[in-house]
Structure 1
Amino acid sequence: MSDVAEQGLVQEWHELLSRYSAVFGTLDSRLQERHGIGASEFEALERLATCDHQCRSADLTEAVHLSQSATSRLVARLEKEGLVQRALCEADRRGIFVTLTDAGRERYLAAKRTHREVLTATLR
């Protein structure tokens, strides 16, 4: 790869990081201000709302793009607020299901409009 091509690639990467940071930061602050949840919490609630209100903890980790331990802490915060419940999987006692509560669904639906407004304003 030539130096010019490499510089262009690195510049594109930095622009992508900058755009991501701007969008995520705006999402995080608006969702926190208006709904008391951050962007990662919203992503978890959205995943649960769109997959029959329940999914395995491991699937949630993939959806929110966090480490397993960070996702576990996120779920613990959501559970403390009454937005989700955790339960052991009956078929595999090592597995944990995370379920959206009615309060979680209400918070998600309220925050969804803010989420979409921010995406529209920052990505278009």
Structure 2
Amino acid sequence: MSDVAEQRLVRQWHDLLALHAAVSGTLETRLQEEHGLGVTEFEALEALARNETGQCRGADLTEVVHLSQSATSRLVARLEREGLAERSMCESDRRGIFVTLTDAGRERYRQAKPTHRAVLAQLLSPSGKAVAVR
């Protein structure tokens, strides 16, 4: 790899990191201020809301939110304390846990979704570069 190609590759990597930090930080701030949710809580609610049954296996939720199993368990516990989700045992496999969206969780997701999408629209341009943050 030439020095120029290597520099371009590293610059792309740093641009990606900067974009991720800008979007994640703004999402975290806006969702918390306006809806009392963190980014991972929102992503979990969205995964549940997109499922026709409003339910998914805990292991599947772990993949969606990109957390460890124990961190996802703590996330679900926070959602339960706030009345946004409930856990139940899988009838066919007692080791499996299902996470189900409550009516309050569906409503909080519905209210937070426009904020989430507005931040994405504000910070992501077609060229993939971050635009000015408010």
- State the TM-score bracket (shorter-chain normalisation): over 0.9
- Tell me, what secondary structure is at the counterpart of 2:83? coil
Correspondence 1:74 to 2:75: yes
TM-score (structure 2 length as normaliser)? 0.90
Correspondence 1:111 to 2:119: no
CA distance in 2, matches of 1:5, 1:95: 48
Specify which structure has the higher proportion of helix. 1
**Percent identity, aligned pairs only?**
71
One-letter identity of the residue aligned with 1:94:
R
One-letter identity of the residue aligned with 1:37:
L
CA distance in 2, matches of 1:116, 1:9: 29
Correspondence 1:33 to 2:33: yes
> Which stretches of structure 1, 4 residues or longer, exceed 2 Å deviation after superposition?
none
For these two proteins, the number of residue pairs brought into alignment is 124
CA distance in 2, matches of 1:7, 1:70: 36
Instruction: Tell me the alpha carbon deviations over residues 44-80 of structure 1, each in whole angstroms, 9 at most, x when there is no partner.
Output: 0000000120000011011111111111111110011
Give the match for residue 84 of structure 1. 85
Structure 1 residues not aligned, in runs of 5+ = none
CA distance in 2, matches of 1:35, 1:82: 14
The Cα of 1:2 is off from its aligned counterpart by 2.1
CA distance in 2, matches of 1:26, 1:107: 19
Structure 2 residues not aligned, in runs of 5+ = 126-134
CA distance in 2, matches of 1:2, 1:89: 54
TM-score (structure 1 length as normaliser)? 0.97
Q: CA RMSD in A?
A: 0.8
Give the match for residue 58 of structure 1. 59
